[in-house]
């Protein structure tokens, strides 16, 4: 999933930038793991949230999220990579 973070971030950003006050639907089969990981990656990059902040933000709105361990590891790596790039 890591390899899709930049492309999905760019797409979400493009849509929200070009169409103010519109929502972007990010979905997967159960709506608890894969789609949530994509949204977390977006929040980390475009809204300068930490992974934990992004998870808490989403969990307040969708309590049933359950991101699998592999995706969480990829998100942690993504967060570290972005932090290193900004230093």
> Is 28 a residue of the active site?
yes
DSSP 35-85: HHHHHHHHHHHHS---HHHHHHHHHHH-TT----HHHHHHHHHHHHHHHHH
Which among 14, 28, 30, 66 is annotated as catalytic? 28
Return the active site residues.
28
């Amino acid at each position: 999933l890591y390899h899709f973070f930049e492309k999905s971030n760019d797409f979400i950003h493009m849509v929200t930038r070009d169409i103010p006050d519109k929502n972007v639907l990010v979905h997967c089969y159960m709506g608890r793991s894969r789609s949530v990981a994509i949204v977390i990656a977006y929040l980390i990059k475009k809204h300068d949230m930490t992974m934990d902040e992004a998870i808490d933000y989403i969990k307040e709105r969708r309590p049933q999220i359950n991101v699998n361990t592999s995706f969480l590891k990829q998100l942690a790596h993504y967060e570290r990579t972005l932090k290193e790039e900004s230093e």
